[in-house]
């Protein structure tokens, strides 16, 4: 009888172990709502000085690409995110469409007011609601995600001329597997990885989207896409995980993918295509744990470090994002009364960004409430500067070392 009880206990322990590990993971995510609340969250500013630039010109700049040799940062900014965010499930219907998303070039070594240049997009006649983008500098290929209000998501392929700051639209890329594209990592002038951050889209089924967001099952995917000579897309799922968000190639054989809802970053080994296949395969390599925030976008720094930006306090992010529908619109705020103005003043969003290397692990760069909703961080140590871009922020944070 004693042997039977021991055997039963062992079987029960084996069956419960995955559940315990899962619940512990969810608790680690939920604990951020307490430990990173305003007044408790640790504050960091590991640089000499910083300023928030262009607050009166740009907002909602989620993604940034740094072109080191040209000393230019490309920014994708979408004022329409206040009313239309497919990632967070925010949809405000019955309002006039906001101005299209825009791409900007910021000459970060210049103090001239014209250091920020809007890139003219030629030939794209549809609405542009962008989240993530990437640029293949050797071929001048620019890929922009586009979450249209009508017609569904797709990726826009453009050719970017950095001498004239003009982007010419080449084609719209769509495929059933590119269902809700978030972030892009280009491999070449015709191949790229893209994350679909959900399996269930909020616009079609809010309950399933909500459950997927907070229970974090590994239902969403990473897709490898190849642009064929015909302009069509050959796409294949190469990994499945919970909430794949930011994505970057650390090197030619390592792909990093943020798992936002799990507070993790997964590293995959990129293997060449097997005989008879047109796409590479991914093998799990390691997982970066213990991040003090929910990771959003990932960037590979010129020195090889993995730069990670994210959201340390989800309740504040949610409140801040909802408030921007009024707070970002002076014409609406003026007629909303003193209570609305006071709410806009007091509603704050947090930011936390840092870098990770295999040798040292994670190191903080900035965390605080002065600049809200960090989504991307880029840095050029050689030039002594870095940029943080906020999902719902006015302007960009630029620091100097």
291 occurs within a structural domain: yes
Among 34-48, 138-152, 377-391, whose mean pLDDT is lowest? 138-152
167 occurs within a structural domain: yes
Average pLDDT of the residues in 168-181: 94
Mean pLDDT of the chain: 90
Residue 279 DSSP class: S
Alpha carbons 401 and 399: distance in angstroms, whole number: 7
| Per-residue model confidence as pLDDT tens digits over 112-161 | 878 999 999 999 988 899 999 999 999 999 999 998 877 778 999 999 99
234 occurs within a structural domain: yes
* CB of 301 closer than 8 Å to CB of 357: no
Q: How close are the terminal C-alpha atoms of the chain, in Å? A: 70
Average pLDDT of the residues in 277-292: 93
pLDDT of residue 301 exceeding 80: yes
Average pLDDT of the residues in 336-356: 87
CB atoms within 10 A of CB 304: 10
Domain count, the chain: 1
CATH of the domain at 252: 2.120.10.30
Sequential DSSP letters for 377-392: EEEEGGGTEEEEEETT
Would you state the pLDDT for residue 198?
87
20 occurs within a structural domain: no
7 occurs within a structural domain: no
pLDDT of residue 3 exceeding 60: no
pLDDT of residue 176 exceeding 60: yes
5 occurs within a structural domain: no
Range of the domain at 234: 44-400
Would you state the pLDDT for residue 67?
96
Average pLDDT of the residues in 266-295: 92
Q: What are phi and psi of 210, to 5 degrees?
A: -65, -45
pLDDT of residue 191 exceeding 70: yes
Would you state the pLDDT for residue 97?
57
11 occurs within a structural domain: no
Average pLDDT of the residues in 292-299: 97
C-alpha radius of gyration, the chain, whole number: 21
Alpha carbons 162 and 114: distance in angstroms, whole number: 15
| H helix count then E strand count, the chain | 6, 28
pTM of the predicted structure, to 2 decimals: 0.92
384 occurs within a structural domain: yes
Would you state the pLDDT for residue 77?
95
């Amino acid at each position: 009888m004693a042997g039977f009880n021991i055997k039963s206990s062992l079987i029960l322990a084996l069956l419960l172990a995955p559940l315990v590990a899962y619940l512990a993971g969810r608790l680690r995510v939920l604990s951020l709502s307490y430990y990173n609340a305003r007044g408790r969250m640790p504050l960091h500013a590991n640089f000499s000085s910083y300023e928030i630039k262009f607050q009166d010109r740009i907002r909602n700049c989620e993604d940034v690409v740094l072109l080191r040799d040209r000393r230019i940062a490309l920014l994708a900014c979408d004022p329409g995110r206040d009313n239309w965010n497919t990632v967070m499930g925010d949809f405000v219907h019955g309002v006039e469409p906001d101005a299209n998303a825009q791409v900007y070039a910021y000459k970060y070594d210049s103090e001239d007011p014209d250091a920020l240049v809007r890139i003219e997009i030629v030939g794209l006649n549809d609405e542009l609601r962008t989240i993530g983008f990437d640029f293949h500098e050797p071929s001048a290929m620019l890929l922009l995600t586009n979450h249209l209000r009508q017609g569904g998501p797709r990726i826009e392929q453009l050719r970017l001329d950095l001498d004239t700051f003009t982007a010419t639209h080449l084609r719209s890329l769509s495929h059933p597997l590119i269902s809700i594209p978030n972030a892009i990592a280009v491999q070449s002038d015709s191949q790229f990885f893209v994350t679909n951050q959900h399996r269930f889209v909020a616009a079609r089924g809010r309950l399933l989207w909500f459950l997927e967001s907070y229970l974090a099952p590994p239902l969403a995917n990473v897709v490898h896409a190849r642009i064929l000579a015909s302009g069509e897309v050959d796409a294949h799922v190469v990994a499945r995980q919970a909430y794949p968000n930011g994505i970057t190639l650390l090197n030619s054989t390592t792909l990093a993918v943020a798992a936002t809802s799990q507070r993790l970053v997964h590293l995959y080994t990129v293997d060449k295509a097997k005989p008879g296949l047109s796409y590479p395969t991914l093998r799990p390599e390691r997982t970066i744990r213990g991040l003090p925030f929910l990771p959003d976008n990932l960037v590979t720094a010129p020195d090889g470090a993995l730069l990670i930006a994210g959201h340390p306090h989800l309740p504040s992010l949610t409140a801040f994002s909802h408030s921007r529908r009024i707070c970002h619109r002076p014409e609406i705020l003026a007629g909303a009364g003193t209570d609305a103005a006071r709410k806009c003043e007091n509603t704050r969003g947090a930011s936390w960004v840092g870098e990770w290397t295999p040798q040292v692990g994670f190191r903080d760069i900035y965390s605080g409430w002065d600049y809200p909703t960090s989504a991307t961080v880029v840095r050029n140590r050689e030039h002594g500067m870095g940029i943080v871009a906020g999902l719902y922020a006015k302007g960009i944070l630029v620091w100097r070392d």
